[in-house]
Structure 1
Amino acid sequence: MRLVLQEFLSLDGVCQGPGSPDEDTSDGFTRGGWFVPYLDEEFERLAGLWLGEADAFLFGRRTYVNFARDWPTMTEHPFAHLLNGLPKYVASDSLTEAAWDPSTILSGDVPAQVADLKRRPGRELQIHGSARLARSLLAAGLIDELRLAIAPVVVGEGRRLFPDGGAPAALRLMSNETTPGGLTVQVYESAGAPEYGTYGAGA
């Protein structure tokens, strides 16, 4: 399976609490829900196409707990059968059980276990949110594709997908489009280590 990250970002790179004010208030974050005003039918269509490529999901603990609380009750949502029915893996050293069936807890050497999952047959193993997990897997060179939905808003504080001191990585742009609501949807594939140069050298 290919490992694909899907992440909502602000213009200043914040990924914390995009869906509601109380989604993730860790570290005193009070500006949640910043992504919602820009949702539109075109993005819902894209999200549905992406979900249709999933054969399994991978979550960090916090995102898993939120999804496991909400999605089993959202049976009328067009994506519910996919999120509720497909295999789910949660990276956590603190969870002792994962009741959102079918779910499996990954603990210990998570990158090695994810590498094993990638060797299984299938299409996509999708990460939704889960920024801390995504950063560690990006540093390990395991993420094959990034789908970033960028909202035209500066949040000003909060957890970022690419913080200072994060692992460097080169990306190759595969597609770029803008929805009527103002979201910029950028799809990248991993391209190994970055290259560096000097402008004008050899000109």
Structure 2
Amino acid sequence: MRNLYAFLLTSVDGYHADADGGTDWFNVDDEFEEYSRAQGEHIDAILMGRVTFEMMASFWPTPEAYEQDPVVAGFMNDLPKIVASRTMTEHPWGPTTFVADDVAEHVRALKEAPGKDIAIFGSSSLVAELLPTGVIDELRIIVDPVALGRGIPALAGLAKPVPLKRTGLQAFANGHVVLTYVPVPS
């Protein structure tokens, strides 16, 4: 069975985006880029919410994306994308499938199919929706050493508490820390 992991950025005070929805505060350096490229080797599908999809679709297919990071641009553009959206049904950034209802069941079926891992990059609201359903196998939360003071909380809208067990901790030279958790079965 394939695993589904979520990779979220957050500030030390728990925000995944600033008050305007931006992530320009996140410090991207060579070590982060290397970590990001390595994730692409282990996945063959990307799941995301509509807002994240639209943000990524505005960048990754561009010449600037290929110039900045051809490896990540390659897998972001080439891998199948599954987008949870009740409003979008098509988009030229492919290959893309849109799922309007029962995203958790769609994900369960995907996990049963042969293949590599499935990743959720960003999409904090989608992660909050799916985490209580048991379809997310692992959370990778990268904490940037910045306090925003206000913004959009990571995992806002989580319907109920989900106990987690930390399974990994990786510190980067620039102060980033990747915390890896798995849900504890109830």
Task: Provide the residue aligned with 2:152 in structure 1.
Answer: 159
Task: Provide the residue aligned with 2:14 in structure 1.
Answer: 13
* Matches of 1:189 and 1:43, distance apart in 2: 22
- SS of 1:172's partner is strand
Contact 2:45 2:79 in 1 (8 A): yes
Task: Provide the residue aligned with 1:149 in structure 2.
Answer: 142
Task: Provide the residue aligned with 1:172 in structure 2.
Answer: 165
- Residue 108 to residue 166, structure 1, CA distance change in 2 (3 Å): closer
Query: Which of residues 16, 21, 24 in structure 2 aligns to 1:33?
Result: 24
Task: Provide the residue aligned with 2:122 in structure 1.
Answer: 129
RMSD after superposition: 1.8
Q: Could you list the runs of 5+ residues in structure 1 that have no partner in the other structure?
A: 18-27, 194-203
Query: Which of residues 55, 69, 77 in structure 1 aligns to 2:58?
Result: 69
What's the CA shift string for 1:116-140, capped at 9, x where partnerless?
Answer: 1111111211001001111010011
Q: Could you list the runs of 5+ residues in structure 2 that have no partner in the other structure?
A: none
Runs of 4 or more, structure 1, over 3 Å off, are 162-166
Distance apart, 1:192 and its partner CA: 2.3
* Matches of 2:184 and 2:21, distance apart in 1: 35
* Matches of 2:22 and 2:100, distance apart in 1: 31
Query: Which of residues 35, 51, 65 in structure 2 aligns to 1:46?
Result: 35
* Matches of 2:184 and 2:96, distance apart in 1: 31
- Residue 165 to residue 106, structure 1, CA distance change in 2 (3 Å): closer
Contact 1:5 1:126 in 2 (8 A): yes
Larger radius of gyration: 1
Contact 2:129 2:159 in 1 (8 A): no
* Matches of 1:105 and 1:30, distance apart in 2: 23
Distance apart, 1:106 and its partner CA: 0.6
Q: Which has a greater percent of strand?
A: 2
Moved more, 70-79 or 158-167: 158-167
Aligned residues: 181
- SS of 2:152's partner is coil
Query: Which of residues 82, 89, 111 in structure 2 aligns to 1:118?
Result: 111
2:82 counterpart letter in structure 1: Y
Fraction of identical pairs, as percent: 34
Distance apart, 1:32 and its partner CA: 4.2
* Matches of 1:119 and 1:30, distance apart in 2: 34
Distance apart, 1:163 and its partner CA: 3.8
Q: Give the TM-score taking structure 2 as reference length.
A: 0.90
Greater relative contact order, per chain length (Cα 8 Å cut-off, separation 6+): 2
Q: Give the TM-score taking structure 1 as reference length.
A: 0.82
